[in-house]
Structure 1
Amino acid sequence: MAAGVWLHEMSVPTRHYIADIGQSGRTGMDALAARLRRLGDEAVVVDLRSPMAAAASDLLRYGARHDGGYWNTTGAARLVLVGELAPLMRADGCRMFAHGCVGGGNDQRRFARYGAQAAPELAVIEPWTDPRALERFPDRKAMLAAVVERGLPLDPGSGAERSTDANLAGVSHESAELEDLETPVSRLDPRWSAWPGQGPAEPETVTVGFRDGRVADVDGSGPDPVAWMTRANAIGARHGVWLRDVVERRIIGTVCRGVYEAPGLEVLGPAWTRILQASLDAPGRELYDRLAAVLGAAMYEARWLEPAAQAARAAIDRLVGDVGGSVTLSVRRGVVQVERTEVTGRVEQQTRFGSGGNRWSEVAAVRT
């Protein structure tokens, strides 16, 4: 929002696209749009929850994790924002797009790469690489003061000392305190979730259905990715299944601590892993893991649209395109345990003890 304030002060005609990617309730976004209009700028709220949920489905299908096994939710959001908003900007006659990402950071590179691929005709404005913007806003306190002065509502969890970047798939947490490796993660204030010890004492049973290599249902949600992602998020958040505290390798070659909150994907991950274990033979699973590592790096580095990532996705599609079944989980206080599995698969299952260990059965459905 500080970037928008600076553009307004520079008398740059600005149209704000406020994307609903599941980060918070719609009321706050509508209030922000209304306030921007009262200040003289154009503003529109765009519902991108469906493409964001589709991106979350891709993260799971392709195992797109980064250092420490955390889900690439922030990188996926950048792909969705550029891919979905660029056509609207072109249709509205925009000639450039601006973002408020830190100069020299991961997101600056992501927006630049996806912008060049998805909308090369739109010039990219990066305010925090402009000396005039840096002079006007030398730090986050100055940014916060300007935003508050204009009555612009803040995103939950964000301020001068801390910030969160959220979407339907998860949340990243940032602060100078958290970047210090000596700071215990317990100093974090989760945006959505409970800590494991705060969860219910009794476990919750959750059944996840898969069809054609994708989630088809989470406890009666139906196949709509927005519905099953929302249901999985609620379950994981309630039971304290959400946290990844990692030291990650960044695009610019440095390392930095990152703290991530992805309750839905952290619940669904073990179910998908069990489906893969029961459906792929040894060479297939080895190839899947290699390709997943390629795609994890591709999503993090904003190379998802490049040929190598396209080829990796096509190969995984061949591996898991007809995989299906259901996994029943027990979720309690930060722990996800597989209880039952039914897989519609292609792998022969050895019944070692039940048949003396010398017979194999090839069946349409494998139960474990």
Structure 2
Amino acid sequence: MYVGSLAERPVGVLQGGGLSSTALGIWLAEQGIDAHHLIADIGQAPPAELEAIVAAWRAQGVPAALVDLRAPMAALALDLVRYQARHDGGYWNTTGAARLVLVEHLAPRLVAEGRTVLAHGCVGGGNDQRRFARYTARLAPGLDVYAPWTDPAALRRFPGREAMLDAVQAAGLPLDEGSGADWSTDASLAGASHESAALEDLGVPVDARTLRPRWSRWPADAPDDPHTVTVTVAEGRITDIDGSGPDPVAILRRAGELGARHGVWLRDVVERRIIGTVCRGVYEAPALEVLGAAWRRVLQTSLDQPSRALYEQLSGTLGAAVYEAWYADPAAVSARTALDALLERASATVTLTLHRGTARPTAVDVTASGALQQTRFGTGGNRWREPLAVAV
């Protein structure tokens, strides 16, 4: 889809404040396109920063609105933990999850407003372009999708990120703190992905010289003293961490604060992308790394061996579904339904020790699940578990 076909069509822009999506807004304004910008709050920045982005677009004469999507983003993030829906190299694909949240909750709003085109600023030909296309086709089939960096006219105007940055600065528009000419960060409550010219080189180490974490401390800079935290799981769902209470946003916030403070956050993987390239993926997900460590201990105490084998198979299916953007398709929905059934009785309280980049389970209370714990040595060496019926 090219810009010439947008002249008489109302466009909805998914605007996050990153460099390429801000450049998209400038490009549409320059072409006189009727565009309404929706800025989604998925926990990527403080609300005041997102409100500043809205105000800046309105000051340019462009309609803009802030939409709070923190609750669905947190709910999906906890499902990633619940289903262990990780991808190549074992990382949490928080970017792929965020694309689903954006389309699922913003596309219906665009349709209700009479918008007929959804526009996003993701790189042409990349994973995210495919994710927006797939989810829009499934969840809002009446919307067309405009991906500007596949449009020759847009590419002539913005041949690279340097030209985008010049235009954004000239317009006086604010940028997300994770965006620049040579680096990009895509963030949400669930975590952040980091990309840059340096990180693309697989021979370059990921360290303080090549990566600035969005929220987290490097393990060497974390506190000397270990920190003990408890995670509560009831009937297959995380209901509390360190006194957070059951609200998913509060759980993600608290887990993220703890992981970031204690250096539990980094995944540096070499991934195989949808488009066929091999590249480095650098992921900062302190909340999911902490919660994931507790969840794996819950699985060990809650599932028998055949159930655990099926769980692992379906987890891999869902990890691919999040990455490849078919999480809303029947196969993924069926996998989630099956996992929900397996996890109905999964209940435990896990104690974790967080210390300089590690989250180590140190104790687990399975009283709530009714699991039978071995008590052979604690009962004299001749009884395997308690309670034990004794004939009289």
- CA spacing shift, 1:281–1:184, aligned 2, 3 Å: same
- Give the Cα–Cα distance (whole angstroms) in 1 for the partners of residues 127 and 246 of structure 2: 33
8 Å CA contact 2:95, 2:193 repeated in 1: yes
- CA spacing shift, 1:314–1:13, aligned 2, 3 Å: same
Alignment of 1:192-203 (within 5 A): 192-203=215-226
Counterpart of 1:10 in structure 2 is: 31
Counterpart of 2:272 in structure 1 is: 249
Displacement of 1:347 in angstroms is 4.1
Alignment of 1:135-150 (within 5 A): 135-150=156-171
Displacement of 1:323 in angstroms is 1.2
Displacement of 1:308 in angstroms is 1.0
TM-score normalized by the length of structure 1: 0.96
Structure 1 runs, 4 residues or longer, greater than 2 Å off: 344-363
Displacement of 1:354 in angstroms is 2.8
- Give the Cα–Cα distance (whole angstroms) in 2 for the partners of residues 345 and 358 of structure 1: 25
Counterpart AA for 1:298 = A
TM-score normalized by the length of structure 2: 0.90
Q: Does 1:51 align with 2:75?
A: no
Question: Once superposed, what is the RMSD of the aligned Cα atoms?
Answer: 1.2
- Give the Cα–Cα distance (whole angstroms) in 2 for the partners of residues 135 and 87 of structure 1: 32
- Give the Cα–Cα distance (whole angstroms) in 1 for the partners of residues 324 and 312 of structure 2: 18
1:214-255 Cα deviation digits (max 9, x unpaired)? 110011110000001000000000000000000111112221
Counterpart of 2:321 in structure 1 is: 298
Q: Does 1:273 align with 2:296?
A: yes
- SS of residue matched to 1:240: coil
Counterpart AA for 2:151 = D
8 Å CA contact 2:375, 2:386 repeated in 1: no
- SS of residue matched to 2:377: coil
Counterpart AA for 2:238 = V
The share of aligned pairs that are identical, in percent, is 62
Counterpart AA for 2:354 = V
8 Å CA contact 1:207, 1:326 repeated in 2: yes
- CA spacing shift, 1:358–1:253, aligned 2, 3 Å: farther
- Give the Cα–Cα distance (whole angstroms) in 1 for the partners of residues 375 and 246 of structure 2: 33
8 Å CA contact 2:202, 2:279 repeated in 1: no
- Give the Cα–Cα distance (whole angstroms) in 2 for the partners of residues 246 and 353 of structure 1: 43
Q: Does 1:101 align with 2:122?
A: yes
Alignment of 1:100-139 (within 5 A): 100-139=121-160
1:324-354 Cα deviation digits (max 9, x unpaired)? 1211111111111212211232543333433
Gaps of 5+ in 1: 364-368
Counterpart AA for 2:120 = H
8 Å CA contact 1:208, 1:268 repeated in 2: yes
1:146-196 Cα deviation digits (max 9, x unpaired)? 111111111012100111000000000001210101111002111110000
Q: Does 1:240 align with 2:272?
A: no
Q: Does 1:190 align with 2:213?
A: yes
- SS of residue matched to 1:287: helix
Counterpart of 2:82 in structure 1 is: 61
- SS of residue matched to 1:160: coil
Displacement of 1:211 in angstroms is 1.2
Paired residues, what number? 363
Gaps of 5+ in 2: 1-21, 388-392
